[in-house]
Structure 1
């Protein structure tokens, strides 16, 4: 068992490294092409930090491991709103939250987080449900882009020549960026495959459920890129970007990732339905409403509030452990 846990930890570190390679490649090409000034880089980074959850969930879906998929996504959402944002608030101090747009994003993230639970209440997240989730993700992204990145519309209309992007890719440094991107994707795919494999093996050897492993071991590993990004952003004073990436990750996890996973292979619950997920759903609900109350009451998240969120996560982990 210790060997399997050590291997899982190494694979999670491999996920972080792979994601960092992809992010560096995207930032390099976008910066050289001049497209970063139009907000494209920030948008792509928000998606990139969710790549581990996406690939792990897709691999698990191919193998029919519903509990691992749902555990990973629900666990990642819980970790994002408690462990990640709580850790960033504790290390970075008070995080000031301003703007009507950001307030709306908080509610959109909550709606996205609860939607899959409503759709799977009948026992199955079908391919039709997956299409619904993808459509909703598209609508949310369109709303986000209209609110935050009006210049993207200018780019789509051709006011920013796409040739600059192609020239950047064709340059020698662009080749390095593309190579770094491909290596990162390959490492991400390989790491995700073996995370699913060793997570299943760990469950069989210890008696831990796939749900528990997904909720804590896999989800924390796949949430580490967000944690690193949030801490860096907060310490550099980019709180709005940090919160935007965090809320965007919750939306992507709940709609884009679960949508793709359920289209690949419908996610079917056992005869017990959502009962095994009850504690996790309760934890997500509590953490989400605590988060809303904290940021809406004073327009900031203080370090001690981050400590409370982190404490709720630890309490949830202990209760789920006792349950297992």
Structure 2
């Protein structure tokens, strides 16, 4: 047990180190190539913060730990809204300002509903079992492509330009850091999946619950760090946009890639998590688009965080 916990911690450290170095190196190269900041932010940086979930899910899918695949995606999205936005809005009330974020919040709710639609084969089609198939994974990836192209088009048309701090690496140094970053992602992802499965076996919890709690929180650390840094700079819009954008990436890109590699067979417990994910997205939608000022107040943050603690407690106790 202690060895597995140590390996899990090392895995998270390697994963976050790899994602950070890969983003820094790729962003440095992109700046030298004259790529606008808004494009770097919406592609390289966004992919970088979602890289931990993607790598872990790929290893889990290939190794047959399919419960962990869906658990990591849903757990990350639930933690992003109830946990990260809950903590962030308690620290500082979050006000939505840009049109992009106004569009992304409903889209993230739509993405959560999409998971239910592609998963409910028994209810919708009268099938023998619920499966997110390879073809449905490809459809999710097509949705992601539409979202990415639309986001880039809107950003360019609006003349938005993000203020970004990028590393000024030489080409050789950037290549070295890219290689190190990829190595960190691969090693970290492998360690996390293997150690998480080992922990689940020792303490008697399912891979689904480990994925929904320990693994999902660990892979969401880049989003948490980004939101906290944004709050320190009073960039509250980035704090919300980072989380909502990550949720869209997680479903359309990461779940899409994972199910394209290995179709997922769902058990009945997964639908509880799917509905919790939808409820979290709906709650965020209601809080932002009702009331005055389009903001998350402190009391709403306390409620979100309290709901997350209750959800995790229910999972562990059950």
Q: TM-score, normalised by structure 2?
A: 0.88
For structure 2, list consecutive stretches of 5 or more residues without a partner in the other structure. 122-129, 160-167
Tell me how large the CA RMSD over aligned residues is.
2.0
CA contact (8 A) 2:95 2:236 kept: yes
CA contact (8 A) 1:13 1:221 kept: no
Distance in 2 (CA, whole Å) between partners of 1:132 and 1:235 is: 38
Aligned residues: 300
Q: Specify the alignment match of 1:316 in structure 2.
A: 311
* Residue 138 (structure 2) pairs with residue 143 (structure 1): no
Distance in 1 (CA, whole Å) between partners of 2:23 and 2:302 is: 29
- Which residue of 217, 220, 223 maps to 1:220? 217
1:204-249 Cα distance to aligned partner (Å, 9 max, x none): 1211100000000110010001100111112213222332222221
Distance in 2 (CA, whole Å) between partners of 1:224 and 1:7 is: 17
Q: Specify the alignment match of 2:298 in structure 1.
A: 303
Alignment of 1:239-254 (within 5 A): 239-254=236-251
- Which residue of 188, 213, 224 maps to 2:185? 188
The secondary structure found in structure 1 opposite 2:170 is helix
* Residue 274 (structure 2) pairs with residue 281 (structure 1): yes
Runs of 4+ in 1 over 6 A off after TM superposition: none
Distance in 1 (CA, whole Å) between partners of 2:187 and 2:100 is: 38
Q: Specify the alignment match of 1:256 in structure 2.
A: 253
CA contact (8 A) 2:90 2:298 kept: yes
Q: Specify the alignment match of 2:133 in structure 1.
A: 126
Distance in 1 (CA, whole Å) between partners of 2:27 and 2:134 is: 34
Instruction: Measure how far apart 1:317 and its partner are.
Output: 0.3
For structure 1, list consecutive stretches of 5 or more residues without a partner in the other structure. 153-170
1:21-65 Cα distance to aligned partner (Å, 9 max, x none): 12221332333444244x122112112100000011111111121
CA contact (8 A) 2:7 2:191 kept: no
Q: Specify the alignment match of 2:286 in structure 1.
A: 293
Distance in 2 (CA, whole Å) between partners of 1:31 and 1:40 is: 10
Instruction: Measure how far apart 1:303 and its partner are.
Output: 2.8
CA contact (8 A) 2:12 2:219 kept: yes
Distance in 2 (CA, whole Å) between partners of 1:24 and 1:90 is: 30
CA contact (8 A) 1:97 1:239 kept: yes
CA contact (8 A) 1:116 1:255 kept: no
